[in-house]
Amino acid sequence: MMSYREIAPGVEIPVLGLGTWGMGGRQIEDHRWDSENVTAIRMAVELGFTHIDTAEYYGAGHAEELVGEAIEPYPRDSLFITTKVWHTNLRHSDLVASMKKSLRRLGLDYVDLYLVHWPNPDVPLGETMMAMERCADEGYTRFIGVSNFSRSLMREAQSRLESHTLVANQVEYSLLDQKPKMDLLSSMQAEGRTLIAYSPLGKGLLAKPGNKVLDGLAEKYDKSQAQVALNWLVSQENVVAIPKTSNPVHLLDIVGAVGWEIGLEDSIRLSQGFI
């Protein structure tokens, strides 16, 4: 059974969502696996991965189209849809135009969370945040956040907002990349913001045997390596993860990452085993 975490007052999302990087292509659109990807997204929703993360950059927008097709049968309020604006579109008018294009591709009137995908030092942060607030004020998105922002840059971004709060920062975080633990995560926990972990399985490396500590704990808890690695992540306060897969077998496996707990000593030993 899926576990949930509050991302905003009265709003919960599953601790495991579904990433879509690579679905529908990478930098350019690719239609070869459209049917398989739509089927995978629907299977994920049925398994409780009702947070779907995508971006205008993924497949040059085609990933958003696939998400839109996949979620069409489901009640809108049963889903939490996140998309992101690319760093070349952070000028005010460009950002609002990107938001509207994403909504058209998704076939939605609004998304639940809109993120600045990457910071852009060539665009004044205040201008970008003003455009993000406009998107929220006009009902294009329920919440706003950032992605790949440092602790200091996230605080600066928040200071540029007049009436909204950044609810999340999406960053790479896994046993193989524990940098957020050094600084960012503690501040987000203190401020009540959600860290959305992408590449939580280290681009698949954590789903395979090879690390002595991870392999040992997988055997101890009778779980797969992927389940242990994801459980380690989402057991942390204010952390959710968005593993990406279109493989039904892998989806069935990773849903087993929730509903149980790694012991504290084992969790510490596991994190130290990758440093």
DSSP states of 38-91: HHHHHHHHHHT--EEE--TTGGGGHHHHHHHHHHTTS-GGG-EEEEEE-GGG-S
Bridge partners for 115 per DSSP? 84, 145
- Residue 46 is encoded by which pair of tokens? 């049925």
The counts of H helices and E strands in the chain are 11, 10
CA-CA distance, 35 to 123, in Å (whole number)?
Answer: 38
Instruction: Indicate which residue of 58, 114, 140, 173 is catalytic.
Output: 58
Concerning whether 221 is annotated as a catalytic residue, the answer is: no
CA-CA distance, 93 to 99, in Å (whole number)?
Answer: 10
DSSP states of 234-246: HTSTTEEE-----
Beta strand 4-8 with 166-172 is: unpaired
CA-CA distance, 10 to 135, in Å (whole number)?
Answer: 21
Positions marked catalytic: 58
